[in-house]
Amino acid sequence: MKNNVAPGTFRLNSELPGRFLTMGAAILAIISVVTIVSFITVKGMSTFIINGVSVKEFLFSTKWWPDRLPEDGGPQVGVLVFIFGSIVIAMLAVLLSAPISIICAVFMAEIAPFGGQRFLQPSIELLAGIPSVVYGYIGLSLLVPFIRNNIGGMGFSILAGFLVLSIMIMPTIVSVLTDTLKSLPREYKEAALALGSTRWQSIYHVLIPAARSGLITGIVLGLARAFGEALAVQMVIGNMRKMPTSIMDPVITLTSAITMDMGNTPMGSLWNNALWSMGLFTLMMSCFFILVLRFVVRKGGVVR
């Protein structure tokens, strides 16, 4: 081989297929993103351009009557109730999940690396692999009756929604943070211990601050996941199209409103367009989360 083939030829022949393959995959990925984003944007904007609904009314009105007859005042599509539901549930889920996840990650990376890796990590990875419909069904069959019988209300509630979500987003936060903690230079910990810190002090004052970017990345990814989850949440929140006044009230989210109504509405109707606009809004929220991430990762210069 080394005598028969000129070095250049050999390299060219073996490099080319790989190059085409990777290029092709990259182009395919870019095309699908561009197509999806432009399609949702065009459909989502038609509420405002074709139906003439003002963006302000859409985002800040709570009046959702997409099928009201003209003689009763005509249709109205204000989605504030849905936006509120999505944001409240996602935020509460992160508030509950983040502290628990941080503790799990510290346990796995610092306290008991062996036991953590052996038992905790597989169980948390398993949580990530459970389909969301299973979470929803467990929530519907166990959590909702439990809340109804022990805490009050009808069970279908913000509480049930964010409890289910907080478990679903835990793997995301834990795995990102564990990886960051493990990748910290050994010197950080050794220096802290050499200065006389206890193990707890070195974790609390040195390692967690140093892993800040991983922490924020995990939380933002968890928040994005929580915001976009539809099925499991829809099964336990009761889907009431009304502003909730307590954590025990049923609520509705953007994603559950879309899944409930999408099939029912004829293409091109105001109702259908409004659902696309809600989709566009969730897409913009994801973009926002990703931008925050990029910013944080660039600024979080402590690591590496």
Partner 1 sequence: MSGNVTAVGSTAMQPLAEQAATQFMAKNPNVKVVVQGGGSGTGLTQVSQGAADIGNSDIFAEEKSGIDAAQLTDHQICVVGMAAVVNPDIKIDNLTKKQLVDIFTGKTTNWKDVGGPDQKIVLVNRPKASGTRATFKKYALDNAEEAAGIEEDSSGTVRKIIKETPGAIGYLALSYLDGSVKAVSLDGVAPTKENIVTGKFPVWAYMHSYTKGKPTGATEAFLNYMMSDEVQKNIVPQLGYIPGTEMKIVRGMDGIVKNK
Which residues contribute to the site for partner 1 (CB under 8 A)?
Answer: 67, 145, 148, 154-156, 238-242, 250, 252, 259-261, 263-269
Q: How far is residue 163 from each of residues 60, 144, 202, 223, measured CA to CA in Å?
A: 27, 11, 32, 14
Question: Given the complex with partner 1, which of 202 and 234 has the nearer CB atom?
Answer: 234
The whole-angstrom separation of Cα 37 and Cα 160 is 32
DSSP per-residue string spanning 156-215: -SHHHHHHHHHHHHHHHHHHHHHHHHHHS-HHHHHHHHHTT--HHHIIIIIIHHHTHHHH
CB of 297 to partner 1, least distance (A): 40
Q: Which is nearer to partner 1, 197 or 269 (CB)?
A: 269
* CA distances from residue 289 to 123, 141, 236 in whole angstroms, order as listed: 27, 33, 25
Residue 67 or 125: the one with the smaller Cβ distance to partner 1 is: 67
Nearer to partner 1, 178 or 239 (CB): 239
Tokens 């905790």, located at residue? 120
Q: How far is the CB of 50 from partner 1 (least distance, A)?
A: 14
Paired with 65 in beta bridges are 76
What is residue 50's three-state secondary structure? Answer: coil
Nearest approach in angstroms of CB 164 to partner 1 is 16
Q: Which residues does 83 contact at the CB level (< 8 Å), separation at least 6?
A: 59, 254, 281
Q: Which is nearer to partner 1, 94 or 144 (CB)?
A: 144
Picking from 254, 263, 261, 262, the residue whose alpha carbon sits closest to that of residue 233 is 254
In the complex, least distance from residue 255 CB atom to partner 1, rounded to whole angstroms: 13
Q: How far is the CB of 42 from partner 1 (least distance, A)?
A: 18
Smallest separation, CB 264 to partner 1 (Å): 3
Comparing CB distances to partner 1, the nearer of 87 and 260 is: 260
